[in-house]
Structure 1
Amino acid sequence: MNIHNKQIKDAFDAKSLIKVIAGIDNTNIKNVIKIAKAADLSQATYIDIAANVKLVKILKKISQLPICISSINSIDIYNCILAGADIIEIGNYDFFYNKGIYLTAEQIISLVLEVKSFKANIDICVTIPYYISLFEQMQLAKKLYIIGVNILQTEGISKLHKLQSPGSCFDLINVKNTFLPSLLSTYMISKSVNIPVITASGSKNIISHIPSNYGASGIGVGSSLKNQMSIRDIVKYINQSYCYMMSSDLLMNDCHGVNYNLRAILRTSLIFKK
C-alpha cells in the first residue's frame, strides 16, 4: 500500500515509526505545543492531535513533523485538511467511549469514503475497534484496504467501559493490560492485509520492541507521556522507546541512558540499520 508522506513511509519501511499522541480531546495549546516541541527533538515520526483547526495551524508553523488529526466528525476533518493536516486518523475512540459512542464497521467505512472525497492523496489511518470480534476486525481491515486506507491501528480495551463493551471476544473482566489485546489484534490484522499496522494501546518504552514481532510497523505513545514533566523528559522517553525498538541485544543495556541529543547519533549509526 502506497504511503504518500515520505517521512512516514521511510519509518514504516524500517519498522521504526513512533506516533506521539497528544490526545484527541486535548485542546490545551500550551500542553500540545510542549509535546510537539519534544516530538520534534526526538525520534518521533509524527504527532497526532485533536481535530482543531487552530492547533493544526500553530503546529504547522512550529513543527517539522507531519501533523495527524484524529476525529470521527467529517466536518472537523474537512476543516483540518484545509488547515494543512498531513494525515487523517479515524480513531482514538476512548474519548467517544466515555460518551457511550461505539461506531459500527459500516459507519467507519462510510466515514472513510466521505473523507477520501475531500482529498484524494492524503494518508488515512483507521483504528480497528477492540469491541468487535477478531474475525470482524480482520474483515473490516480487508474492506478498508479495498477502499484505499493505507494505515491501520489497533487498540486495547478501554478501561472505563470494558465491562459494558458489546461483542468483544476477550474476557473483559480478566484482561487488565490493554497492550495484550492490541498485540493480538495487530498479529491477526497484519496477517490479513498488506497495510502497515500501528500498535498504540498501553505501550511502554521498555516493551516497544515487542509489537514488531507481532506484525507491527510502528507504535503509538500517548498516555505514558503524561507522567513526563518536562520537554527533556518527554524527549528522553520517546528516544528510549526508539532505542528499544531498534536495538540488538548488544545495545539493550544502553537504552536507559538514551540522552537528549541521541537523535543525531542514531541517524548516523550503522548499528541501528537492518
Structure 2
Amino acid sequence: MKEVQNIIKASEIAQATYIDIAADTNIIFLASQFTHLPLCISSIIPDQIYKCVDIGIEIVEIGNFDAYYNKGMIFNVKDIKNLSRTIRRRLPNIHLCVTLPYIISIKEQIELAKYLEFIGVNSIQIEGNINHRYDRLNQRLPLNRYNSTLINTYSLSRIVNIPIIAASGLNLSSAYIAQSYGASCIGIKTAIIQETTLNKKIDMIKKIKSTLKDTTTRSYIL
C-alpha cells in the first residue's frame, strides 16, 4: 500500500493527467486523500463499475484484463462489444475508455475499435503482450510489450478518430515514439514503478511530460 501511496503522491506533485486505479472503494478513498487529479477505475464487472461511479468516479475503463488472464480467462470481440454497449447505455455521460485485448488479432482489434467509436466510447487503450500464455491465439510474430503497443497504436490511429491510449511497457525513451505513432495519451506505470523513491517517481513523470511538451499527448499513471 505504501507503493500505491507514493505513486499517487508523485502523480499529484508532477501533475499527471489522471490516475488509473483498480475498482476498489478502499483504493479510491485512499487516492482521494492524496490527490485532486481525476481518478479512472478499471474493471469488467458492471456492478463494480456502477458502485464506483455512485461514489464520484468520472472516468471508467473496461479493462484490467491481466488479472483474468492469470486465471485462465480469455475475452473475444463479442464479449467486449456486449460489455461496452451495456456500460455505455447505463452510463451515457461518463467518460468511457475500453481496452482492446491483446489476445485478439489486429484485424479483430480494428473491427472492435470501429464498433466502439460507433457506440460512443470516448477512448480506446492499447494492451501490449502482457501474458505470453496466450500468444498463440493471435497469430502475431513474438513481440515484447513495447513493440506490440507501438505497432497496434500505429495501426489503429489510422482507422479511428477517438483518442488512443498507449499503455503497456512504455518508458522515458519510448513515450515520444508512441506519441509520434498516434497515441493521444501515454500510460507510464512501467516507467515509474521501477523508480524506488517518491522523488525519483516525481522526476520520472516530469521527464516524460517534458518529452511530450508542446504536443497534444498527455501522460497518465496506472
Letter in 2 for 1:203: L
Q: Does 1:216 align with 2:180?
A: no
State the distance in 1 between where 2:41 and 2:136 align. Answer: 27
Q: Does 1:178 align with 2:148?
A: no
Q: Does 1:246 align with 2:213?
A: yes
User: How far is the alpha carbon of 1:66 from its aligned partner?
Assistant: 0.5
SS at match of 1:49: strand
CA contact (8 A) 1:203 1:220 kept: yes
State the distance in 2 between where 1:103 and 1:135 align. Answer: 15
1:91: which partner in 2? Answer: 63
1:188: which partner in 2? Answer: 155
The CA deviation string for residues 217-264 of structure 1, in whole angstroms up to 9 with x for no partner, is 11101133222122211111111111122279xxxxxxxxxxxxxxxx
Q: Does 1:46 align with 2:13?
A: no
CA contact (8 A) 1:70 1:88 kept: yes
Q: Does 1:203 align with 2:170?
A: yes
2:218: which partner in 1? Answer: none
CA contact (8 A) 2:128 2:145 kept: yes
Letter in 2 for 1:78: Y
SS at match of 1:192: coil
- Map 1:30-41 to 2 at 5 A: 30-41=2-13
State the distance in 2 between where 1:144 and 1:77 align. Answer: 18
Letter in 2 for 1:165: D
User: How far is the alpha carbon of 1:163 from its aligned partner?
Assistant: 4.5
State the distance in 1 between where 2:174 and 2:186 align. Answer: 10
- Report which stretch shifted further, 88-97 or 41-50: 88-97
CA contact (8 A) 1:51 1:76 kept: yes
User: How far is the alpha carbon of 1:133 from its aligned partner?
Assistant: 1.3
Letter in 2 for 1:89: E
SS at match of 2:158: helix
User: How far is the alpha carbon of 1:116 from its aligned partner?
Assistant: 2.1
Letter in 2 for 1:135: K
CA contact (8 A) 2:110 2:159 kept: yes
SS at match of 1:68: strand
1:233: which partner in 2? Answer: 200
State the distance in 1 between where 2:134 and 2:103 align. Answer: 10
Q: Does 1:58 align with 2:30?
A: yes
State the distance in 2 between where 1:90 and 1:221 align. Answer: 18
User: How far is the alpha carbon of 1:151 from its aligned partner?
Assistant: 0.6
SS at match of 2:129: coil
1:165: which partner in 2? Answer: 135
CA RMSD of aligned residues (A): 1.8
Indicate the structure (1 or 2) with the bigger Cα radius of gyration.
1
State the distance in 1 between where 2:156 and 2:58 align. Answer: 24
- Report which stretch shifted further, 209-218 or 30-39: 30-39
Instruction: Tell me how many residue pairs correspond in the alignment.
Output: 215
Letter in 1 for 2:186: I
User: How far is the alpha carbon of 1:61 from its aligned partner?
Assistant: 4.2
User: How far is the alpha carbon of 1:205 from its aligned partner?
Assistant: 1.0
